[in-house]
Amino acid sequence: MPVDGGEVWADDSGGDDLPLVLLHPGVGGSAFWDPILPRLTRQHRVIRYDVRGYSRSPRTTTRFSLLGDLTAVLDHFGLDRAILAGSSMGGATAIDFALNAPTRVAGLALVGPGVTGYEGLASPELMAQIEVLAKAGDMDGLVALALRTWAAAGPDPDPQATALLRSAIPAWFTNHPHLTPGAPAFDRLGELDVPCVLAVGERDQPEVVRCNEDMAARIPGCRLVRLTESDHYPTLREPEKVADLVLEFCADVS
């Protein structure tokens, strides 16, 4: 489907009920949701898409914003209002949209979400390691580093997380020169006025866990759920728990 200056791959399961829109993390395309997708689509109209450069979406050659592309997807499918489920990068996009267009958001289901404007979420040491490996063109090294960082709770080997990372990592670098970052949102979380549940993987990076706890404390009425066996890939580690959480939340919102 068209977005400003480009295209993204998107999928609509169909239906007439309140839509559920899935927003993937930066460590995997929309296939991140595959382990729970069948349960979600049995009960809801589900729309998902790959951010530019990820998985089935073409790489971009023009400036774009994640918020602008989410708006384009909702407009393309004629959605005046939807429940947004977002993980990591996708969670940050969902929050940005809820702050900018609150009447279009029926609820926020956040899974290990990111947020703009939070100090200390990105480790300088980790970014430096990624830069060294990227300059060397070392994809295997990047995957190994990412698995140690974001997939520590998984098996060894971890084919599912590895496949998600291999599909995602090229977009980190092709998108970077073109991506317009979102405005800081952390200090505005108190403005959110929609139902919200936030699930944090207790085996995720300490920085992410701390950020998610701080976010839940700032979002009015937010329910914080702890996933004890999850890292940054809760849909791989505890798919039934994540599916239950999202479906229960959708039922409450509907």
Q: What is the pLDDT of residue 126?
A: 94
pLDDT at 244 over 90: yes
Mean pLDDT throughout 4-25?
96
The answer to whether residue 121 scores a pLDDT higher than 90 is: no
- Tell me the per-residue pLDDT of 190-213, one tens digit each, with 9 for 90 and over: 999 999 999 999 999 999 999 999
**What are the tens digits of pLDDT across the range 131-146?**
999 999 999 999 999 9
Task: Give residue limits of the domains in the chain.
Answer: 2-253
pLDDT digits (tens, 9 = 90+) for 90-113: 999 999 999 999 999 999 999 999
The pair of three-digit structure tokens given for residue 53, joined into one six-digit string: 């450069």
Nearest to residue 104, comparing CAs of 133, 77, 125, 84?
84
The mean pLDDT value for 125-135 works out to 96
* Predicted pLDDT of residue 173: 96
pLDDT band with cut points at 50, 70 and 90 for residue 122: confident
pLDDT at 120: 85
Which of 128, 168, 132, 131 lies closest to 147 in space, CA to CA? Answer: 168
What is the structure's pLDDT at 107? 98
CA pair distance 21, 28, nearest whole angstrom = 16
Quick one: pLDDT at residue 187?
A: 98
User: Which CATH number does 2-253 carry?
Assistant: 3.40.50.1820
**What is the rounded distance in angstroms from the CA atom of residue 159 to the CA atom of residue 172?**
20
**Environment class of 141 (CB within 10 Å of its CB; exposed 0-12, middle 13-18, buried 19+):** middle
Specify whether the backbone of 180 is left (phi greater than 0), alpha (psi in -120 to 50) or beta.
Answer: beta
Q: Is the Cβ–Cβ distance between 200 and 234 less than 8 Å? A: no
Predicted TM-score of the model (pTM): 0.98
Please give the mean pLDDT across all residues of the chain: 97
State yes or no: pLDDT of 5 exceeds 90. Answer: yes
Q: Any idea which residue has 């404007």 for tokens?
A: 117
Q: What percent of the chain has pLDDT over 90?
A: 97
